[in-house]
Chains A and B, each alone.
Chain A
Amino acid sequence: MLSIKNLQVSIDGQTILKQFNLEVKAGEIHAIMGPNGTGKSTLASVIAGRDLFQVDSGEITYEGKNLFDMAPEERAREGIFLGFQYPVEIPGVSMANFMRTAMNEKRKHFGMEPLSGAEFLKIMEQKKKLVDIHSNLTNRAVNEGFSGGEKKKNEIFQMALLDPKLAILDETDSGLDIDALKIVANGVNKLRRKDNATIVITHYQRLLEHIIPDYVHVLFDGRIVKSGDKELAKQLESKGYEWIKKEILV
């Protein structure tokens, strides 16, 4: 589904990712872990198409297509979803209006008729349950006045509505209490299918107790220095990132 080869990315002349390689297949959950400032969020942004970053070399193919040929909105419509670390507020734009617009853009992309207001509301009510959202989203503006936990739940709610092929969750666990963490993880697990894939970016192991990854990658200094299964995450938790640093130096 996603294949990243020898990717090198920089911002303002400073290299952030280098010799980065990753293969993600349908049905898989990959966790990318690493200390702060090692390029985890940069990776998410580059896949989503944020042009703050300069891609110096390397390639990314998504579903056999060159990702760099696709505009950010096209990537989204083709099924790439980014759960933001810091979801932005859009005052005055209701969640319902926002998501209906997004879903209809996607439908248009695939030559489908737009959803009517009633159809949309029905789907929205279903998906709200998935992440335990109770408030009336038809009159709440996008992320405006949402607590930290609500914002993260809202990201998963949007993911549920857009039904992506590839979801990248960027530090979705940060700022969540244990209850919210469980709700978010539960939502992600329920959305898991054989034909979609998830990349979970996280600093801590605790999210991975609830979302069980098939692969765990440790990102350090712009590249993956160690890969393994869920046991790697546990090792990291107990030994700390210093352990990885020493191992690399050896």
Chain B
Amino acid sequence: MENKNNDILDEVTGAEYKYGFYTDLEMDQAPKGLTEDTIRFISAKKNEPGFMLDYRLKAFRHWQTLKEPQWAHVDYPPIDYQDIIYYSAPKKGPKYDSLDQVDPELLETFEKLGIPLEEQKMLAGVAVDAVMDSVSVATTFREKLAEKGVIFCSISEALQKHPEIVEKYLGTVVPFTDNYFAALNSAVFSDGSFVYIPEGVRCPMELSTYFRINAANTGQFERTLIIAEEGSYVSYMEGCTAPIRDENQLHAAIVEIIAMKNAEVRYATVQNWWPGDKHGRGGVYNFVTKRGICAGEHSKISWTQVETGSAITWKYPSVVLKGDFSVGEFYSVAVTNNRQQADTGTKMIHLGKNTRSTIISKGISAGRSNNSYRGLVKAIPRAINTRNFTQCDSLLLGDQCGAHTFPYIEVGNRSSVVEHEATTSKISEDQLFYCLQRGIDMESAIGLIVNGYAREVLNKLPMEFAVEAQKLLSISLEGSVG
């Protein structure tokens, strides 16, 4: 069975990336490289208010004093930050009244991605703010949301229409001084999403954004800001695929979430960017800072992520539990195959009393990949009676991959309870043969077993995402060895 499994593994890992295509749009882009002029160009291009340019410049100056961090369990050649184009936008106007006005080539791209907007509008009841190379090109369900006072738009638009809200909250959860990539993003972010849920409002639909990297050699610097006022609720979904590229693409996004008293924010991600070929060439570097703050009492922030793409994933969606009785959750499935590297996990920072957090992390490694969980659970002396439960499981497929766990626990008081459970397992020959004997072939069997393993996390996803995520897991791993 060993040899046969290896053959299948080779065959599957040799398969071409399913979503490998790209659209040739006339680009309106900044010259290569990063200087203060680049930042002024971006800000001017987007007609931003003065405070935004000041913020960007401060971030840039700070970034220049920093060195790229090296501590993650990942390995990649040095990035030449002067060899990156920091801004590009589809040339044709950014907004349309109807789909007819949208660049047909762009629509075709969405078709290939399997996200026809029309169908989504009708079937899913989901408002889609589609980000194509940094500029929003289609927004739906605006009116329905507006009725409730929900603002859901691109951050560029928010800067035009609601600059006071952006100015008040941008950088309050992830300041530009936070880390190297946060500083870079703060200086050059191109676009992203903005969500504002007013007090007491339950957002009437799942919000979703499809990000997509499309221009050759263009870094993608998304910036997302979600504010949930007192007693409000929102569920936000983000999913992405990307075309094949020879050169590595740097992606350094920031997501900030603010949940006020009694507010709840659920943030789900399915990430499937081009992971590079089987020799590790190409692929997206996904260096992301995602953090939410439970600012008020009894607030709740929940991160769910399914990570199957990118050459390198480096991210820790975190929750600062500031309000007493607030709740933070992190549910993650991270799949690595071939030469992919992932160093991902979370940080739960307990500042308030009686705060609770749950971490469920499922790492799946195949091929020659490396998959690391890195998590911090911290409770300050004031944060009495806090609880954390962490479960950290690793599943290995084949014998050339690696799974690593780096848990950090810092508890500053005697009443807090922190639990950590960890397991490492392999898909057994017995499980595979059991499936084969029931007529299920090897690839389907692995898909079934892996989806079963990740079910606890997949169940946390909104329905339409769960289906997509299950397919993704099977595609990413089918044929790997037990």
A30 to chain B, nearest CB (A): 19
A49–B442 CA distance with the chains assembled, in angstroms: 13
- Is the Cβ of A93 less than 8 Å from the Cβ of B448? yes
Q: CB within 8 A of B441: which of A73, A84, A87?
A: A73
B70 within 8 A of A: no
- Is the Cβ of B431 less than 8 Å from the Cβ of A101? no
A160–B144 CA distance with the chains assembled, in angstroms: 51
Q: CB within 8 A of B438: which of A51, A52, A71, A162?
A: A162
A226 within 8 A of B: no
A42–B246 CA distance with the chains assembled, in angstroms: 51
- Is the Cβ of B434 less than 8 Å from the Cβ of A73? no
> What are the 4 A-B residue pairs with the smallest beta carbon separation, nearest first?
A92-B452, A93-B452, A76-B439, A92-B455
A149 within 8 A of B: no
Report A-chain residues with C-beta under 8 Å of the C-beta of B442: 73
Q: Count chain A residues whose beta carbon lies closer than 8 angstroms to a beta carbon of B.
A: 32
- Is the Cβ of B439 less than 8 Å from the Cβ of A77? yes
- Is the Cβ of A76 less than 8 Å from the Cβ of B430? no
Q: CB within 8 A of A101: which of B434, B436, B448?
A: B448
- Is the Cβ of A73 less than 8 Å from the Cβ of B448? no
Q: Which residue of A lies closest to B455 (CB)?
A: A92
Q: Mark A77-121, 1 if CB is under 8 A from B, else 0.
A: 100011010111011110001110110011001000000000000
Q: CB within 8 A of A73: which of B429, B439, B451, B454?
A: B439
Q: Which residue of B lies closest to A83 (CB)?
A: B437
- Is the Cβ of A98 less than 8 Å from the Cβ of B439? no
A-B contact pairs, 7 of them (CB 8 A): A49-B437, A50-B433, A86-B430, A90-B435, A92-B451, A142-B452, A162-B438
Q: Which residue of B lies closest to A103 (CB)?
A: B439
Report B-chain residues with C-beta under 8 Å of the C-beta of A105: 438-441, 444
A141 within 8 A of B: yes
Q: CB within 8 A of A88: which of B1, B430, B454, B456?
A: B430
B294 to chain A, nearest CB (A): 30
Report A-chain residues with C-beta under 8 Å of the C-beta of B454: 92
B428 within 8 A of A: yes
A43–B274 CA distance with the chains assembled, in angstroms: 47
Kindly list 8 other residue pairs between chains A and B, CB separation below 8 angstroms, not including A90-B434, A97-B448: A71-B436, A73-B439, A87-B434, A91-B453, A93-B449, A101-B444, A105-B440, A141-B452
B393 to chain A, nearest CB (A): 10
B39 to chain A, nearest CB (A): 48
- Is the Cβ of A90 less than 8 Å from the Cβ of B431? yes
A101–B434 CA distance with the chains assembled, in angstroms: 13
Report B-chain residues with C-beta under 8 Å of the C-beta of A93: 448-449, 451-452, 455
A72–B433 CA distance with the chains assembled, in angstroms: 8
Report B-chain residues with C-beta under 8 Å of the C-beta of A102: 435, 438-440
A96 to chain B, nearest CB (A): 12
A247–B183 CA distance with the chains assembled, in angstroms: 87
Report B-chain residues with C-beta under 8 Å of the C-beta of A49: 436-437
The total of interchain contacts (Cβ-Cβ below 8 angstroms) comes to 78
Q: Mark B228-267, 1 if CB is under 8 A from A, else 0.
A: 0000000000000000000000000000000000000000
Q: CB within 8 A of B440: which of A73, A86, A88?
A: A73
Q: CB within 8 A of A84: which of B434, B439, B444?
A: B434
Most chain B CB within 10 A, of A87, A91, A158, is at: A91
A102–B438 CA distance with the chains assembled, in angstroms: 6
Q: Mark B28-59, 1 if CB is under 8 A from A, else 0.
A: 00000000000000000000000000000000
- Is the Cβ of A76 less than 8 Å from the Cβ of B434? no
- Is the Cβ of A101 less than 8 Å from the Cβ of B440? yes
B250 to chain A, nearest CB (A): 35
A67 within 8 A of B: no
Report B-chain residues with C-beta under 8 Å of the C-beta of A50: 433
Q: CB within 8 A of B452: which of A51, A90, A106, A158?
A: A90
Q: CB within 8 A of A92: which of B430, B433, B436, B453?
A: B453
Q: Mark A172-186, 1 if CB is under 8 A from B, else 0.
A: 000000000000000
A91–B428 CA distance with the chains assembled, in angstroms: 12
A199 within 8 A of B: no
Q: Which residue of B lies closest to A50 (CB)?
A: B433
A227–B440 CA distance with the chains assembled, in angstroms: 35
- Residues of A36-67 whose CB lies within 8 A of B: 48-52
B155 to chain A, nearest CB (A): 38
Report B-chain residues with C-beta under 8 Å of the C-beta of A162: 438-439
Report A-chain residues with C-beta under 8 Å of the C-beta of B452: 90-93, 141-142
Q: Which residue of B lies closest to A106 (CB)?
A: B439
- Is the Cβ of B448 less than 8 Å from the Cβ of A76? no
Report B-chain residues with C-beta under 8 Å of the C-beta of A73: 436-437, 439-442
A137 to chain B, nearest CB (A): 14
Q: CB within 8 A of B439: which of A87, A97, A109?
A: A109
A198 to chain B, nearest CB (A): 16
Report A-chain residues with C-beta under 8 Å of the C-beta of B439: 73, 76-77, 102, 105-106, 109, 162
A76 and B438 in contact, given A91-B453, A92-B453, A92-B455 (Cβ under 8 angstroms): yes
Report B-chain residues with C-beta under 8 Å of the C-beta of A81: 437
